[in-house]
Amino acid sequence: MEVLYEDNHIIIVSKAAGEIVQGDKTGDRPLCDMVKEYIKTAYAKPGQVFLGVVHRLDRPVSGCVLFARTSKALARLNAMFASHSQVRKTYWAIVGQRPPAESGTLTHWITRNEAKNLAHAHDHEVPGSKKAVLDYRLLAESERYFLLEITLHTGRHHQIRCQLAKVGCPIRGDLKYGAPRSNPDGSISLHARRLVLEHPVSHRSIDVVAPVPEEHLWQEIAKGFAS
């Protein structure tokens, strides 16, 4: 865990692939507990530390995660994320197939199979579906892989994963959505690169970038773009 930004109301950290944001049935220590421990130690806080989970990243995904440090910030951030106002999330993904164009907008209608934790993208609206929209552009390529930048306009379950798979570009390592093989560390090559938002209390602009994973392919394909 790396702290990217913090003040009295919010904290943004860089999550490593494999970490879970909140506790689940695995019993593994979640990121939210790590952040609480960091705050407790860094600020010598007695007693319980308040920390509100605003949004989540899938376990095999890396990058920016935002938490609220006050109830006031949590309520306002929840409203902002629900309406997709004053928040912009940008992701990087490595795929094994060239996208249909160097840039474009993908619009699908997504249904979810909760029993299998799987989403499916449809070309047209179907019963129970929710509209999903993202923009993408090709940033770089290597001999075998392509680096895409994705900007979300909606926040659907597994949206990027299933929409890219729908157009023939499953994310590297994402067996659930059609990748031919897994990544050695169990990750998928999807990274929450940048988070831009209006601060829920001060209303100033916050712009945070998460460094790309240290894996060799990430470092090579993102060379010239990654800080």
Q: How confident is the model over 14-40, as pLDDT tens digits?
A: 999 999 998 777 778 999 999 999 999
Domain contains 8? yes
H or E element: which one contains 178? none
Angle made by CA atoms 177, 96, 143, in degrees to the nearest 5: 165
Measured in degrees and rounded to the nearest 5, phi and psi for residue 15 equal: -85, 140
Q: The tokens of 138 are what?
A: 């090709």
Residue 21, pLDDT score? 93
Mean pLDDT over 200-221 rounds to 94
Closest by CA to 33, choosing from 43, 44, 19, is 19
Residue 144, pLDDT score? 93
Give yes or no for residue 86 having a pLDDT over 90.
no
* The dihedral sign for the CA sequence 70, 75, 81, 87: negative
CA distances from 128 to 121, 165, 199 (A): 12, 20, 34
Domain contains 95? yes
Residue 217, pLDDT score? 93
| Total tally of structural domains belonging to the chain | 1
Q: The tokens of 93 are what?
A: 């993904």
Q: The tokens of 214 are what?
A: 């240290």
Mean pLDDT over 139-144 rounds to 92
Helix and strand element counts for the chain (H, E): 4, 11
Domain contains 86? yes
Which percentage of the chain shows pLDDT scores above 70? 99
Closest by CA to 59, choosing from 97, 93, 88, 31, is 31
> Can you give the residue range of the structural domain that contains 147?
2-221
Measured in degrees and rounded to the nearest 5, phi and psi for residue 124 equal: -135, 160
Using pLDDT thresholds of 50, 70 and 90, give the confidence band for residue 226. low
Domain contains 226? no
CA distances from 204 to 10, 14, 86, 196, 207 (A): 13, 21, 11, 11, 10
Other CB atoms closer than 10 Å to residue 214's CB: what's the count?
8
- CATH number, position 61: 3.30.2350.10
User: What is the per-residue pLDDT across 59-74, written as a single tens digit (0 to 9) for each?
Assistant: 999 999 999 999 999 9
Domain contains 227? no
- Rounded CA-CA distance 48/35 in Å is 12
Which percentage of the chain shows pLDDT scores above 90? 85
Catalytic residue numbers, as ranges: 58
